[in-house]
Homo-oligomer: A and B are copies of this chain.
Amino acid sequence: MDITKFAIPEIIFGRGSLNYAGQCALRLGAKKVFLVSDAGIEEAGWVQQLMDILKKEGVEWVYYSGVTSNPRDIEVEEGAKIYLENGADVIIAIGGGSPMDTAKGIAIIASNGGKIRDYEGANRVKRPLPPMMLITTTAGSGSDISQFCIITDVQRAVKMSIITRTLVPNISIIDPLILRTKSRTLIIQSAVDALAHAIEAYVSTIASPFTEMQSLKAIDLIVRYLPCAVESRSLDCLEKLSIAAVSASMAFSNASLGAEHALAHSLGGYFDMRHGVVHPILLTAVMRFNLENAETKLADIGRVILNRKVGLPRDTALAGIEKLDEFFASFKVTQRLREEIGEEEKYLLKPICKMAVNDACNLTNPRPASWQELLKICEEVW
């Protein structure tokens, strides 16, 4: 085995753990917190609740809600300006992937200067970031655990992957009670995002025993508990999805991802599609593409999905992939790209795939994928 690194934040997990946010902020040395969230979370009442918790500990804050889905370079750069103007000392985000990635981007610019596109790729952030605490409101993006930050470069219409260990926040608070306010659609989209994280990290060329065990656990939990989480919204099932999302994030943060996420980022950059919409369309197609280089590992995944082996490893792998397609279908989510992109925009797939091959995630795909091969995958699922 090559040398492998494994870094995760301090995790505080459980129903009601949001209440620890004040003490944790103090522990990070907070006097004036830069608090990032968005309108949806505000509406659900979580921002106010967090503010009350901070207030109780005597922690001040500046509130920044200039966050959109698929956060943009300008939002990050604007946020960093406000951070500095207000002399904030700790960054806290509460929300899904968008507010959390915005917070990470702000942390980079506030401490390292320049433009966010200067940091695209792996390990390009040199100076330490302000202390960060992230509070996820979904069980999916994993931004609260990971060393990833995805920001859209508006001019180039591309989602940039910024990856560096210093983006692992100091503390991640995961409170399954927050998931109860989520819509059916968001629960599904978040869970399939976590599933894609787990699967791509498992077959990644830099997976390690530490990430593999997390991946398999996450796949198992999502396949078993997403149906009941969607149907009954039972807190027990939602909590299992939270555990799965944390496990998947520990895996992908340290093992990175693959061609499917590379494509998802490029598609998301062009079309402002929600990230969670893309995976049921692309994931199994990329798994089939990877089969010749990752048969044994895809068989492990198949065994977890099916809860049994089927003949040879290749058979188990394929049966698992088929089962996964049925699994997605059972939630009535789109599995064809043309339902998300109009026929008249199909010609954009070529530049999208040319962009995706350069995404940092594509580097660790078990089977090297050229832009032509990525395009073939997109055509298969058209």
Q: How many angstroms from the CA of A103 to the CA of B17 in the assembled complex?
A: 32
A7 and B11 within 8 A (CB): yes
The interface residues of chain B lying within 8 Å CB-to-CB of A12 are 3-5
Mostly, the A contact residues are mixed
The interface residues of chain B lying within 8 Å CB-to-CB of A3 are 12-17, 20
Q: How many angstroms from the CA of A6 to the CA of B213 in the assembled complex?
A: 16
The quantity of this chain's copies bound in the complex is 2
- The reply on A2 being an interface residue by CB < 8 A is yes
- The reply on A312 being an interface residue by CB < 8 A is no
Name the interface residues of A296-310: CB closer than 8 Å to any CB of B: none
The interface residues of chain B lying within 8 Å CB-to-CB of A209 are 217, 243
Q: How many angstroms from the CA of A165 to the CA of B213 in the assembled complex?
A: 24
The interface residues of chain B lying within 8 Å CB-to-CB of A247 are 210, 213
The interface residues of chain B lying within 8 Å CB-to-CB of A246 are 210
Most buried by B among A4, A16, A214, A239: A4
Name the interface residues of A1-50: CB closer than 8 Å to any CB of B: 1-8, 10-17, 20
Binary B-proximity of A299-328 (CB < 8 A = 1, otherwise 0): 000000000000000000000000000000
B1 and A5 within 8 A (CB): no
Binary B-proximity of A226-258 (CB < 8 A = 1, otherwise 0): 000000000000010001001100000000000
A210 and B13 within 8 A (CB): yes
Name the interface residues of A105-154: CB closer than 8 Å to any CB of B: none
Please pick, from B4, B13, B165, the residue contacting A14 in the complex, using a CB distance under 8 A: B4
Q: How many angstroms from the CA of A14 to the CA of B4 in the assembled complex?
A: 6
Please pick, from B20, B165, B214, B243, the residue contacting A10 in the complex, using a CB distance under 8 A: B165
Residues of A bordering B, CB below 8 Å: 1-8, 10-17, 20, 165, 208-210, 213-214, 217, 239, 243, 246-247
29 A-B contacts (beta carbon < 8 Å): A1-B14, A1-B15, A1-B239, A2-B14, A3-B12, A3-B13, A3-B14, A3-B15, A3-B16, A3-B20, A4-B12, A4-B13, A4-B14, A5-B11, A5-B12, A5-B13, A6-B8, A6-B10, A6-B13, A7-B10, A10-B165, A13-B208, A13-B210, A209-B217, A210-B243, A210-B247, A213-B213, A213-B214, A213-B247
